[in-house]
Amino acid sequence: MPVPGLPVCLRREAPEDAPFLAALFASVRGPEFEGNGWPDEVRDAFLADQFRLQVIHYARFYADADFLIVERQGVPIGRLYIHRSSGDHRIVDISLVPEARSQGIGGALLDMACAEADRLGRPVSIHVEKYNPAQRLYRRKGFVPVGESGPSWLMIRAPGPEVPAEAPVKAGA
């Protein structure tokens, strides 16, 4: 499914995406451990284990979420995981490879998710680490911190006026 106004598409995650997703996870979380003195192999093993645990957690608590891969010209560049409930639309994860960041892609994905939730009168929520620079984007998009859990903020965007979306944030089967 194309993302309006951007040269990217969304598709459902597939088992063969696992190596890409592990590398994406490492690109997002790896910088947290730079300069901590860990040898590369220890850091890499730790990140691989953390990724494995994240996969288990998401499968357990968000089994019915849409697990979507963001592609540009057929090449995976990110992921968007959305869990829809009657209470809210939870952005479980939104991540892009470093070379795809700061190009408007994340903002466009958020706009699509928010427009869909707005049509249903639902808020959109996301947990974001307090150090994550992406929270500036979330704040620009109307998300506000409403609570914290350890190193993360729970941020919520209240439903706005009905905004017609170009397309739903759901990949075709």
- DSSP state at residue 64: T
DSSP code for 38? -
Residue 170: predicted pLDDT: 46
pLDDT reported for residue 5? 75
- Partners of 81 in beta bridges: 67, 93
pLDDT for 37 equals 85
- Regions of the chain short of the pLDDT cut 50: 162-173
Q: How many CB atoms lie within 10 A of CB 98?
A: 11
- Cα-based angle 53, 128, 65 (whole degrees, multiple of 5): 55
Strand order of the sheet with strand 89-96? 9-12, 66-72, 75-84, 89-96, 124-129, 152-157, 144-149
Q: In the structure encoding, which two tokens stand for residue 127, read together?
A: 């947990």
92-to-7, 10, 63 alpha-carbon distances in Å = 23, 16, 11
Q: Is 141 helix (H, G, I), strand (E, B) or coil?
A: coil
CB 151 within 8 A of CB 144: no
What global pTM score does this model have? Answer: 0.86
pLDDT attached to residue 57: 95
Buried b (16+ CB within 10 A) or exposed e, 25-37: bbbbbeeeeeeee
Residue in the block written with tokens 């890409």: 20
In the prediction, which pLDDT does 161 show? 61
pLDDT of residue 52: 96
